[in-house]
Amino acid sequence: MRITRIEIEGRQGRYATISSRRGSPDIEVVILTPRCPNGTTLEVTAGSDADGENARRRFARNLHRILEGCEGTHGDVEEYRREIERFAD
Tell me, what amino acid is at 51?
Answer: D
Q: What is the pLDDT of residue 10?
A: 95
Q: What is the pLDDT of residue 5?
A: 96
C-alpha 3/C-alpha 37 separation (Å) is 25
Q: What is the pLDDT of residue 89?
A: 79
Q: What is the pLDDT of residue 72?
A: 87
| DSSP 3-state of 19 | strand
Q: What is the pLDDT of residue 48?
A: 86
What is the mean pLDDT for each group of 10 consecutive residues in the chain (89 residues)?
92 96 94 95 94 95 96 92 92
β-partners of residue 45 are: 26
C-alpha 74/C-alpha 88 separation (Å) is 20
Residues 67 and 31 sit within 8 Å (Cβ to Cβ): yes
Residues 61 and 50 sit within 8 Å (Cβ to Cβ): no
